[in-house]
Amino acid sequence: MTQQRLDPDRIPRHVAIVMDGNGRWAKMRGLPRLQGHNAGMMALKEIVKRSSVLGITHLTVYAFSTENWKRPEEEVFGIFKLLVLYVQKEIRELNDNNVRVNIWGDWSILPSDAQNAIRKAMRTTQNNTGLCFNIALNYGGRAEILKAVRSICSEIQSGAFSIDSIDESMLSSRMYTNGVPDPDLIIRTGGEYRLSNFMIWQAAYSEFVVTDVLWPDFSPDEYEKAILEYQSRDRRYGGLT
């Protein structure tokens, strides 16, 4: 019903999602936190499918932040095991639906089975031309900016260019998001009003939609409600209509 009300000419190119509320969802049901993360994986599957149907070209999800290492070890490594399971179960369908999987963040320090799953997902889907499904994993916005700055400093030291050559496009080109449009819409589930170190460079003119719905309950219909809210906004980018 919501889909019929969406303006097909104003579908956001890039949607980014902070998937918050898995732990609270599990706690409300007296379940272990990992059960919430597992339910969240099921919700993610449906959002990826609906993104493709709607014609969204880029979907980025915040799966694991650089700060999430502070959580209990059992939960952290349980999340990585769920990642491996997700790839094993879903990679064929993602590939059949022409979805390309990208991983943003420093995944070199993840457990070896998680690294192998990541390589498989990217290798299997690398030639696909449909939805770009970007998973931010061991990702932090500040760390991403630091990585870009260090890259530029190294090139300056080598004499590749001068300090005066640095501009926004140069910094952007050293980000994980190089070549990807900034998110038009950032959705946060779970009712919290903060970015939590997510895409802080790219979010300069993104529209924000926050919902109290916990991530495992974030259905495709809720997704379309958020997009409908986005379509009601007047995006002026600092200017006038």
| Predicted pLDDT of residue 239 | 75
Domain boundaries, the chain: 13-139+183-230
| Predicted pLDDT of residue 241 | 65
Considering 7, 9, 22, 68, which one is annotated as catalytic?
68
Full strand arrangement of the beta sheet holding 14-18: 100-104, 132-139, 58-65, 14-18, 185-188, 207-210
| Predicted pLDDT of residue 236 | 79
CB atoms inside a 10 Å sphere around CB 77: 14
Is 178 annotated in the active site?
no
Considering 7, 20, 96, 128, which one is annotated as catalytic?
20
Taking the C-alpha atoms of residue 116 and residue 91, their distance in angstroms, rounded to an integer, is 13
Is 102 annotated in the active site?
no
CB 121 within 8 A of CB 153: no
Q: Return averaged pLDDT per consecutive 10 residues of the chain, 241 residues in all.
A: 77 98 97 95 96 97 95 92 90 96 95 94 97 97 97 94 94 96 98 97 97 98 97 83 65
The CATH number for 13-139+183-230, chosen from 3.60.70.12, 3.40.1180.10, 3.40.50.300, 3.40.718.10, is 3.40.1180.10
| Predicted pLDDT of residue 4 | 58
